[in-house]
Chains A and B, each alone.
Chain A
């Protein structure tokens, strides 16, 4: 159920777009209305989630560190794993965001002959890195559809991505890597019993959705051609707010676009929000300076303090009578 429901949900989305184009001719709905709506939901949703996270106080420094804290001058500090200033935090965050530093530390825990042993486990890190970077490169590559004069940066990325010059249109390496990585990430969830046990429909749905997007994209580029110039005319119409629907683009393109729109609209409500969440993790983005700086709890209310002076004023006579020393006579 946890696997089949998201799987058939993605199949239903594909059929919905296909039927909408093939039988009902709803090109305008799928090509203009839904993309604008999806982008709106995505942008506003991400802002809403981030602002909502921002309203949670972080009263204490809670970085998860794994190196020597800043201490006495002759003890060497690990400035990246246990940063005490902004520069260290920036480097630590950059490593986390760009190369998934904390996932790199992932270990495999196993019982061997009655003992707990920790082993090498980098496959998830590798597949995750391959997946995210391929996705980013593919996203950047798609900007050739949104810009009249495509900048040379995008052309260079594209030519590097297709440098093997296999077939025509040239095979993109990132297409292959993305498909392999997503397939691995899916197989990992169903093959490892522990991972399967904790996997929910919300884990499988984005995987199937991204797989659907990648497969429709690959089919469009290499197998069942769509009217690619028409696709760019449509995309340019959208970004210049003069939407038009060119004739004869092909239903496959609308399926691809619709799945992307679903991904964008689903984004703010899902685990995919780790895109923003990684920057907002208090276990990563805080400097470990608890011993240097006093962090005052923001929800502390003013407490009435009864000072010794006031105490002495209250009981001076009784204290004198009992022979206790007082500060003021």
Chain B
């Protein structure tokens, strides 16, 4: 091989870049987020009624769009009543409705958001619930 010094340095850089995710994770704890659903407000509910406004699968992927729709509806149309697909009505409010049950932002919202490195701008305007744990 000609110019092998330069080529080998280049190839080593290439290998270092390609294998970066692998050696970067050596010795690190690889914990998936576990959400806590044991807030006092949820505990108070009877077993059958411990349901979010929509199904778990819908909320998992679509909660951000639901909240966005709620915001538009409340701020632009002044309409605060949400009728779910199960024909139940809810008050469209992040602080007063969502966080009433999920009062544990640190163990609920933040778990997945931190894991996925997502920083929603909800709390730029809204007031996060006070939690005892820091």
Of listed B24, B26, B57, residue having the most chain A CB within 10 A = B24
Tell yes or no: A155 within 8 A of B by CB: yes
Contact B15 A43 (CB under 8 A): yes
8 Å CB interface, A35-86 against B: 39, 42-43, 46-47, 50-51, 54-58
Q: What are the interface flags for B1-42 relative to A under an 8 Å C-beta threshold, 1 for contact and 0 otherwise?
A: 111100100110011001101101110111111000000000
Tell me how far the C-beta of B35 lies from the nearest C-beta in chain A, rounded to whole angstroms.
10
Given contacts A58-B2, A276-B14, contact A50 B7 (CB under 8 A): yes
Q: Pick out which of these stretches binds chain B: A24-32, A223-231, A312-320.
A: A223-231
Contact A158 B117 (CB under 8 A): yes
Tell yes or no: B123 within 8 A of A by CB: no
Tell me how far the C-beta of B64 lies from the nearest C-beta in chain A, rounded to whole angstroms.
4
Contact A169 B64 (CB under 8 A): yes
Q: What are the interface flags for A262-282 relative to B under an 8 Å C-beta threshold, 1 for contact and 0 otherwise?
A: 000000000000001001100
Report chain A residues within 8 Å CB of B21. Answer: 143, 146-147, 239
Q: In the complex, what distance in Å separates the CA atom of A46 from the CA atom of B19?
A: 14
Contact B11 A229 (CB under 8 A): no
Report chain B residues within 8 Å CB of A149. Answer: 28
Report chain B residues within 8 Å CB of A168. Answer: 64-65, 67-68, 120
Nearest chain-B residue to A250 (Cβ)? B61
Report chain A residues within 8 Å CB of B4. Answer: 54
Contact B18 A42 (CB under 8 A): yes
Tell yes or no: B60 within 8 A of A by CB: yes
Q: What are the interface flags for A218-254 relative to B under an 8 Å C-beta threshold, 1 for contact and 0 otherwise?
A: 0000000111110011001101111000001000000
Contact A144 B117 (CB under 8 A): yes
For chain B, the bracket of interface size reads: 35 or more
Given contacts A51-B1, A228-B61, contact A233 B32 (CB under 8 A): yes
Report chain B residues within 8 Å CB of A147. Answer: 21, 24-25
Given contacts A148-B28, A239-B25, contact A228 B116 (CB under 8 A): yes
Tell me how far the C-beta of B52 lies from the nearest C-beta in chain A, rounded to whole angstroms.
15
For chain A, the bracket of interface size reads: 35 or more
Q: What are the interface flags for B98-112 relative to A under an 8 Å C-beta threshold, 1 for contact and 0 otherwise?
A: 000000000000001
Contact B116 A39 (CB under 8 A): no
Q: In the complex, what distance in Å separates the CA atom of A147 from the CA atom of B22?
A: 9
Q: In the complex, what distance in Å separates the CA atom of A21 from the CA atom of B68?
A: 32
Q: In the complex, what distance in Å separates the CA atom of A232 from the CA atom of B118?
A: 13
Contact B14 A229 (CB under 8 A): no
Of listed A154, A165, A225, residue having the most chain B CB within 10 A = A225
Report chain B residues within 8 Å CB of A169. Answer: 64, 118
Q: In the complex, what distance in Å separates the CA atom of A76 from the CA atom of B7?
A: 32
8 Å CB interface, A118-154 against B: 143-144, 146-150, 154
8 Å CB interface, B114-134 against A: 115-121
Contact A155 B119 (CB under 8 A): yes
Report chain B residues within 8 Å CB of A226. Answer: 61
Of listed B2, B26, B31, B62, residue having the most chain A CB within 10 A = B2
Tell yes or no: A159 within 8 A of B by CB: yes
Report chain A residues within 8 Å CB of B15. Answer: 43, 47
Given contacts A54-B7, A168-B68, A236-B30, contact A155 B2 (CB under 8 A): no
Top 9 A-B residue pairs of the complex, sorted by shortest distance between their CB atoms: A225-B61, A150-B117, A146-B21, A54-B1, A168-B64, A239-B21, A144-B117, A168-B68, A54-B7
Given contacts A155-B117, A225-B60, 20 further A-B contacts (CB under 8 A): A42-B18, A43-B15, A47-B11, A50-B10, A50-B14, A57-B2, A146-B24, A146-B25, A148-B25, A150-B117, A159-B119, A169-B118, A227-B60, A229-B60, A229-B116, A236-B30, A240-B26, A240-B28, A276-B10, A279-B10
- Residues of B at the A interface (CB closer than 8 Å) are 1-4, 7, 10-11, 14-15, 18-19, 21-22, 24-26, 28-33, 57, 60-62, 64-65, 67-68, 112, 115-121
